[in-house]
Chain A
Amino acid sequence: MPQVMDADRMARALTRIAHEILERNRGTSDLALVGIRTRGVPLARRIAHALKEINHEEVPTGALDITLYRDDLMRHAVGPQPVVRRTEIPFSIDDKRILLVDDVLYTGRTIRSALDALIDFGRPRSIQLIVLVDRGHRELPIKADYVGKNLPTSLRQSVQVRLQEIDGEDGVLLDDDKVEA
């Protein structure tokens, strides 16, 4: 399976995103990171770490599970019922500038669900979207504010993000043969 991003390129992309965040938001005051489970969570933590390295300030970080907000849950007979995991946002999101983090941006439906879920927790001042990979094929009017890598793909391809914290290694793989569900 061809690798389109290795550990070094991934680390550089996340550091670049951290710099872009600081530039656009003029520092980290009122910022908070929320990672979408599963792989958005370690990515959010890595970005929080990068922000602290550069700016010496902690940015609160939470984890969002969107299973209960998915619009396809009761519609299609696709695989087993998704496992519901905990959402852990240990801070108020009211008036915060939320940085929402996911690994791959594809149809946009995951992000739509995440926006619905986030808004149930309060009223953030703004929500900005960070993705490691944007593979195109949007079905909803959603655009990322920070992108690690733009990766044009065909619908037959699948993109796999592998992270040390979950998979034991860092990398982004592009599979030509699989059709994504």
Chain B
Amino acid sequence: MLRSRHLLGIADLTPDEITLVLDTAEAMTEIAARPIKKVPTLRGRTVVNLFFEPSTRTRTSFEVAEKRLSADTLSIAVAQSSVTKGETLLDTVRNLEAMAPDMIVMRHASSGAPHLLARLCRSAIINAGDGMHEHPTQALLDAFTIREHKKRLAGLKVAIVGDLLHSRVLRSNVQLLNKMGADVWACAPSTLMPAELPRFGVTATASIDDAVAGADVVMMLRIQHERMHGHFIPSTREYFTLFGLTADRVRRAKPDVIIMHPGPMNRGVEIDSDVADGPYSVILEQVTNGVAVRMAVLYLLAGHEAQAD
């Protein structure tokens, strides 16, 4: 079972706990193939989806997962406002406590916001992305997708290419893949390469050709224009020329390479349309698997809470 009643980041999980989530998710995939895609597991439980940042994919994925487990769900899209983030969060927590939810799924633009909530709130907290810090369920669904195709994670060469600096997906994925024994390569222009990355045992490079060569998995990350408050790249056209994933570059990888992207994609900026829709792409499978992985997380945390009573 999971040791913590919250899922705040991959940093807190052991390899055994990661394997438990992935194994549980595998059992959950079968539910999506049924005529009635619903089980009564979380009947009577209330889950609040609290999204301070715009999100369609992750929020919808959590909502589908919650409904498939028969939880009562409430989605609150908190618009960006001029209120300082500390006050907003505390006010929201007070209101939430009055509703006594069992779990809160939270996305916030500030790194560490779910950790604060976990300290203040009695509910189990699931981090659905906090600032540039972590996005644990994305990393878990990525790992699940890789394991489905490669039957393992250990020993695989995984190249992560794109706007690494602003990416919480990168930080969660690097930790997870390292814990599970994968050989992680990170590729970005030096302006978008986080300084702390080599500390995580990652091979950092500015050459996409080196990163992709012999790779089992190529994970492309979005250029996050909305987080860039400076000139990180000269132009999107130049970025695509130097760092974009094209069919020519895919040929340098292993013949059974899989191409991943957490979405939303900037076609023609980080990835060529032909590659995104091509035979090696598992991008839509990632979306499908996201529901199963989130069902697994909800199930495992809900049981934990009962035992803590």
- Give A residues with C-beta under 8 Å from B: 65, 68-69, 73-77, 80-88, 116-117, 120-122
Structural contact, A77 and B309, CB atoms closer than 8 A: yes
Q: How far is the CA of A7 from the CA of B159 in the complex (A)?
A: 54
Name the 7 nearest CB pairs between A and B, nearest first.
Answer: A81-B303, A68-B39, A84-B27, A80-B1, A68-B41, A77-B307, A120-B36
B299 interfacial by beta-carbon distance below 8 Å? yes
Structural contact, A120 and B45, CB atoms closer than 8 A: no
**Complex interface: chain A residues within 8 A of B44 (CB):** 74
Within 8 A of A (CB), among B34-52: 34-36, 38-42, 44-45
Q: How far is the CA of A50 from the CA of B158 in the complex (A)?
A: 50
Structural contact, B303 and A65, CB atoms closer than 8 A: no
Consensus secondary structure, chain A interface: loop
Q: Which range contains the number of B residues in contact with the other chain?
A: 20 to 34
Structural contact, B27 and A69, CB atoms closer than 8 A: no
Structural contact, A88 and B306, CB atoms closer than 8 A: no
**Complex interface: chain B residues within 8 A of A84 (CB):** 24, 27-28, 296, 299
Structural contact, A120 and B309, CB atoms closer than 8 A: no
Name the one of A69, A81, A116, A121 contacting B300, with C-beta atoms under 8 angstroms.
A81
What would be 14 A-B contacts, judged by CB atoms less than 8 Å apart?
A68-B39, A68-B40, A81-B1, A81-B299, A81-B303, A83-B20, A83-B23, A83-B24, A86-B30, A88-B30, A120-B35, A120-B39, A121-B34, A122-B35
**Complex interface: chain A residues within 8 A of B20 (CB):** 83
Q: How far is the CA of A116 from the CA of B40 in the complex (A)?
A: 9
Taking A69-B40, A73-B306 as known contacts, 15 extra A-B pairs with beta carbons closer than 8 A to each other, sorted by chain A number, are: A68-B31, A68-B41, A69-B41, A74-B41, A74-B303, A75-B306, A76-B306, A77-B306, A80-B307, A81-B299, A84-B296, A88-B30, A120-B36, A120-B38, A121-B35
Q: How far is the CA of A87 from the CA of B307 in the complex (A)?
A: 26
B249 interfacial by beta-carbon distance below 8 Å? no
B26 interfacial by beta-carbon distance below 8 Å? yes
Within 8 A of A (CB), among B222-244: none
Structural contact, B34 and A120, CB atoms closer than 8 A: yes
Q: How far is the CA of A117 from the CA of B40 in the complex (A)?
A: 9
A90 to chain B minimum Cβ distance, whole angstroms, is 11
Within 8 A of A (CB), among B285-309: 296, 299-300, 302-309
Q: How far is the CA of A65 from the CA of B23 in the complex (A)?
A: 14
**Complex interface: chain B residues within 8 A of A86 (CB):** 26-27, 30
**Complex interface: chain B residues within 8 A of A122 (CB):** 35
Map CB proximity to A onto B39-73 as digits: 1 under 8 Å, 0 otherwise. 11110110000000000000000000000010000
**Complex interface: chain B residues within 8 A of A73 (CB):** 41, 303, 306
Q: How far is the CA of A75 from the CA of B43 in the complex (A)?
A: 12
**Complex interface: chain B residues within 8 A of A87 (CB):** 27, 30
Closest chain B residue to A85, Cβ basis: B27
A71 to chain B minimum Cβ distance, whole angstroms, is 8
**Complex interface: chain A residues within 8 A of B308 (CB):** 77
**Complex interface: chain A residues within 8 A of B45 (CB):** 74
Q: How far is the CA of A121 from the CA of B39 in the complex (A)?
A: 11
**Complex interface: chain B residues within 8 A of A77 (CB):** 306-309
B239 to chain A minimum Cβ distance, whole angstroms, is 43
Closest chain A residue to B23, Cβ basis: A83
A132 to chain B minimum Cβ distance, whole angstroms, is 25
**Complex interface: chain A residues within 8 A of B30 (CB):** 86-88
A41 to chain B minimum Cβ distance, whole angstroms, is 14
B38 to chain A minimum Cβ distance, whole angstroms, is 7
Q: How far is the CA of A77 from the CA of B307 in the complex (A)?
A: 4
Interface centre among B39, B304, B305 (most CB of A within 10 A): B39
**Complex interface: chain B residues within 8 A of A80 (CB):** 1, 307
**Complex interface: chain A residues within 8 A of B31 (CB):** 68
Q: How far is the CA of A121 from the CA of B20 in the complex (A)?
A: 26
Closest chain A residue to B69, Cβ basis: A68
Q: How far is the CA of A30 from the CA of B45 in the complex (A)?
A: 39
Q: How far is the CA of A180 from the CA of B231 in the complex (A)?
A: 67
